[in-house]
Amino acid sequence: MKNNLLFVSLLSAVLLFAACGPENVVNPVTPPKPDEPAEPVVTPPDPAGPVSMTVCTFNIRYANNNDKYPDGSSAAWSARREAVKKFVDTVKPDIIGLQEVRATQSQDFATFFGKDYDYYDVGRDSKTGESVASANCEGVGVLYRKDRFELVVKDFFWLDEDLRTLPAKNSDGTYGAWKSACRRVTVYVELKDKKHGNSVIWFFPTHYDHKSTEARKNSADLMVRQMKALCKVSDLKETDPVIFHVGDLNTTYDNNQLQRLKENMYYARLAVDGPDKFTGTFNGFNDSNSLIDHIFYGGKSVKPVKYWVDKTNYGVPFLSDHYPVLFQWEYR
């Protein structure tokens, strides 16, 4: 009898252990042996070919009722906004940096252009980074495609010695430590590119001062420092995230005011051969030939494809007193 009882007890224990054993654990995971590394995850090649992206910088000319085309017709924003929308809808840039945005234009980019794009801007005279529309001033903005990007970060800083405090007005009418003719601001976004495995894209559009040489040089130096700090990289050229600095910099590329940028980043206009390599970007509503709008970039995955200055007639003689400047690239 004792032997039978012992046998029953042992059988019960075995059944209880089996009931609580590994086979009853939800989603069991067997770790690799110490000398047997886990198999690497291999991403298959994209059968559709390389993934490309088009970035743009565009000084849209601030909204006022005094601008005229050479034939005397109005070049006010109300006369140009439909043509600017047609440009965006036709070319479909993935990211656009905008300068000289005023309140009515800010509202348009947030609504009239809002079907395919998300929008962010900051007024250069706002105290704490309010939008252009809220602050009712002028500023810098960025449009980026809703279907392609996931926003990670959006923020801004002033182009001045104290980049987080609204530059004070000086007794001579200038602003801040660098004596800029106007307050100047940079906005930036960090985006994940859903079309390319959530690759990180940093985009820094801005507008350098139009009068102060010191301010332009200091702005370029500050941008290099800020991009390295914010993107957490020591080398802006050969880095994993893709980084763009674009805008109306109010000086030509050969000017030493942009020396730090030229040393630390690639320059889209000279990265590929094409008919617009020496095409002016500022037209003054009469097609002058000043080349002051620029696209700088960094990132070891960037393969330049095309650079161009868009002088297409989208229904008006000129979209602005500046042409849109565009750069297409592919992931390597």
For residue 26, the model assigns a pLDDT of 31
Q: Answer yes or no: are the C-beta atoms of 50 and 331 closer than 8 Å.
A: yes
The verdict on residue 243 lying in a domain is: yes
Question: Is residue 15 included in any domain, yes or no?
Answer: no
Q: What is the pLDDT of residues 171-195, one digit of tens each?
A: 999 999 999 999 999 999 999 999 9
Question: So what's the pLDDT on residue 49?
Answer: 83
Q: What is the CATH number of the domain that holds 168?
A: 3.60.10.10
Tell me whether strands 266-267 and 242-248 are parallel, antiparallel or unpaired. unpaired
Which amino acid, one-letter code, is at 258?
L
Mean pLDDT of the chain: 89
Helix axes 77-91, 103-111, angle to 10 degrees: 30
Q: Per mean pLDDT, which range of 56-65, 154-163, 286-295 is the poorest?
A: 286-295
276 found inside a domain: yes
In this predicted structure, which of 29-43, 82-96, 148-162, 250-264 has the lowest mean pLDDT?
Answer: 29-43
In a domain, 267, yes or no: yes
User: What sign has the CA pseudo-torsion 115, 120, 124, 126?
Assistant: positive
**Closest to 203 in 3D by CA, of 43, 55, 310:** 55
Share of the chain above pLDDT 70, in %: 86
* pLDDT reading at 20 higher than 80: no
Q: What is the pLDDT of residue 287?
A: 86
pLDDT of residue 48: 66
Q: If you average pLDDT over residues 205-222, what whole number do you get?
A: 98
pTM of the model: 0.85
SS3 per-residue string spanning the chain: CHHHHHHHHHHHHHHHHHHCCHHHCCCCCCCCCCCCCCCCCCCCCCCCCCCEEEEEEEECCCCCCCCECCCCCECCHHHHHHHHHHHHHHHCCCEEEEEEECHHHHHHHHHCCCCCEEEEEEECCCCCCCCHHHHCCCEEEEEEECCCEEEEEEEEEECCCCCCCCCCECCCCCECCCCECCCCEEEEEEEEEHHHCCEEEEEEEEECCCCCHHHHHHHHHHHHHHHHHHHCCCCCCCCCCEEEEEEECCCCCCCHHHHHHHHHCEEHHHHCCCCCCCCCCECCCCCCCECCEEEEEECCCEEEEEEEECCCCCCCCCCCCECCEEEEEEEC
pLDDT band at 21 (very low <50, low <70, confident <90, very high): very low
Mean pLDDT, rounded, for 104-129:
95
Q: Tell me how many domains the chain contains.
A: 1
**Is the per-residue pLDDT at 128 higher than 60?**
yes
Tell me the average pLDDT across 21-40: 36
Whether 5 maps to a domain, the answer reads no
Q: Mean pLDDT throughout 195-199?
A: 98
How confident is the model over 224-248, as pLDDT tens digits?
Answer: 999 999 999 999 999 999 999 999 9
| 258: in domain | yes
- Asked if residue 33 is part of any domain, the answer here is no
Mean local confidence (pLDDT), 45-63: 88
Which stretch of 14-28, 59-73, 110-124, 145-159 has the lowest confidence by average pLDDT? 14-28
Q: Is residue 274 part of a domain?
A: yes
Quote the domain boundaries for residue 182: 52-331
Report the first-to-last Cα separation within the chain, whole angstroms. Answer: 79
- Mean pLDDT, residues 112-123 taken together: 94
- Residue 213: pLDDT above 70? yes
Q: Token pair 């307050």 is at which residue?
A: 183
